[in-house]
């Protein structure tokens, strides 16, 4: 077979694989940041210009650290094996670092799956999905599948989740989604407010705390609430500060009975061992988080004082204040923002009052 023919066959096979993957993704509606970003690009039929600083999917341009890259390379030859014990080592490493029991931790290829599985497991036509507005929209797509009412509650004037308004607006909630630091505002919801939400939430509901960006902030983790056996699921991802969005690794951390409910929605599967090895190496890198956090803070400080050329306000972060009193405006609609359209920032989105936050590009 000629080389061209081999390439043609390979491309066809790749195309078929991609079509199958795309069909499967749309059947299960795992809609996450990269898919939303890709959809925005397709809509405009635009390509990124060479050298563009791409922030639309909140990736980390630094990529995996050197130790993680080396781990990927050395693991690749063993790719013929599932090697589940490598995932055990990853979980044990995280458990030890965080003072958690290993059975409270499940590893996934990223945090989008456990986010969606949580929504599917805990919401239904009679148990609503309560989220912030503006907020990370991914869970709303899963709520469409479970047939849940989506309750969008505006952030407080300090850009924290308005816990009291969320409780008031969704007394039937099956799941309260708290993203802190929040995407797209980059602002924190105080730990005390999350504790209050957990204490006052309706029976049988869970609080899903998405800590995808926590390493960039001085925010307090909600892992203590998991350790205290509360109805709390915490999500962590290696896609952001660890720069592994394309490698795919993340955790759901919760009481084992809550994790078992997620299992009903998608089961567990073997993870890519290259991603697992890279994640373990990243966790074992003593200074990685502090170095990257410092870099991010420095770039933010150098960027934000400049006079903005747009009329949006930039929320100051981190926020230490507790959330403000209610009532506040709130909307209740399936997978929609205040305008009734999906709240996805894209260059074409008109009259938006907010913008997404992102890890910085490497400073030149
Ligand atoms: C707040 C938040 N949660 C979860 C995710 C999902 O990321 P991943 O599936 O790569 O872990 C993203 C992605 O951008 C995000 O912004």
Domain ranges of the chain: 66-284
With a 6 A CB cut-off, is 250 part of the ligand 1 pocket? yes
pLDDT digits 0-9 by tens, 130-149: 999 999 999 999 999 999 99
Location of structure tokens 């747009």: 310
Ligand 1 contact, 58 CB (< 6 A): yes
CA of 6 to the centre of ligand 1 (A): 36
32 Cβ inside 6 Å of ligand 1: yes
Q: Does residue 20 have a pLDDT over 50? A: no
What tokens does 207 get?
């609080």
Position in ligand 1 atom list of the atom nearest CA 250: 11
59 CA to centre of ligand 1 in angstroms: 9
Cβ density class 16-40: b for 16+ within 10 Å, e for less: eeeeeeeeeeeebebbbbbbbbeeb
Whose Cα sits closest to atom 3 in ligand 1? 212
- Give pLDDT, residue 45: 53
- Please give the Cα distance from 354 to 137 (Å, whole number): 14
Statement: residue 34 has pLDDT above 80: no
Does residue 169 come out as left (phi exceeding 0), alpha (psi in the -120 to 50 range) or beta?
Answer: alpha
Q: What confidence score (pLDDT) does residue 232 get?
A: 98
d(CA 31, CA 22): 11
* Span 64-90, average pLDDT: 97
Is residue 195 in contact with ligand 1, taking CB distance under 6 Å?
no
pLDDT tier for residue 315 given thresholds of 50, 70 and 90: low
Predicted local confidence at residue 305, as pLDDT = 62
136 lines ligand 1 (CB under 6 A): yes
The residue contributing the CA closest to ligand 1 atom 12 is 33
How many angstroms does the Cα of residue 213 sit away from the middle of ligand 1? 9
| Of 33, 244, 343, best ligand 1 pocket probe by most atoms within 8 Å of the beta carbon | 33
Q: What is 66-284's CATH topology?
A: 3.40.640
Distance 307 CA to ligand 1 centre (A): 30
351 confidence band (pLDDT: 50, 70, 90): very low
């Amino acid at each position: 077979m000629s080389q061209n023919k081999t390439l043609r066959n390979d491309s066809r096979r790749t195309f078929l694989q991609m079509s199958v993957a795309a069909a499967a993704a749309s059947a299960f509606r795992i809609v996450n940041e990269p898919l939303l970003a890709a959809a925005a690009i397709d809509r405009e039929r635009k390509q990124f210009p060479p050298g563009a600083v791409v922030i639309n999917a909140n990736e980390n341009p630094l990529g995996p650290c050197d130790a993680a890259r080396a781990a990927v390379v050395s693991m690749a030859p063993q790719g013929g094996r599932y090697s589940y014990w490598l995932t055990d080592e990853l979980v044990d490493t995280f458990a030890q670092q965080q003072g958690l029991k290993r059975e409270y931790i499940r590893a996934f290829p990223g945090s989008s799956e456990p986010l969606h599985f949580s929504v599917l497991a805990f919401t239904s036509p009679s148990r609503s999905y309560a989220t912030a507005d503006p907020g990370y929209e991914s869970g709303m797509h899963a709520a469409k599948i479970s047939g849940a009412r989506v309750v969008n509650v505006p952030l407080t004037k300090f850009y924290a989740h308005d816990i009291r308004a969320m409780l008031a607006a969704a007394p039937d909630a099956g799941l309260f989604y708290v993203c802190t630091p929040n995407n797209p505002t980059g602002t924190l919801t105080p730990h005390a407010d999350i504790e209050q939400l957990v204490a006052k939430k309706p029976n049988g509901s869970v609080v899903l705390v998405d800590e995808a960006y926590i390493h960039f902030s001085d925010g307090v983790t909600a892992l203590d609430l998991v350790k205290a056996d509360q109805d709390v699921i915490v999500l962590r991802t290696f896609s952001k500060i660890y720069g592994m969005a394309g490698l795919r690794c993340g955790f759901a951390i919760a009481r084992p009975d809550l994790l078992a409910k997620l299992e009903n929605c998608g089961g567990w599967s073997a993870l890519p061992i290259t991603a697992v090895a890279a994640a373990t190496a990243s966790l074992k890198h003593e200074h990685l988080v502090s170095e990257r956090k410092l870099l991010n803070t420095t770039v933010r400080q150098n960027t934000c004082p400049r006079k903005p050329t747009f009329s949006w306000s930039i929320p100051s972060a981190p926020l230490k204040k507790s959330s403000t009193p209610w009532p506040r405006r709130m909307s209740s609609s399936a997978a929609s923002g205040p305008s009734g359209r999906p709240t996805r920032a894209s260059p074409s989105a008109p009259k938006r009052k907010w913008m997404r936050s992102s890890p910085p590009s490497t400073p030149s």
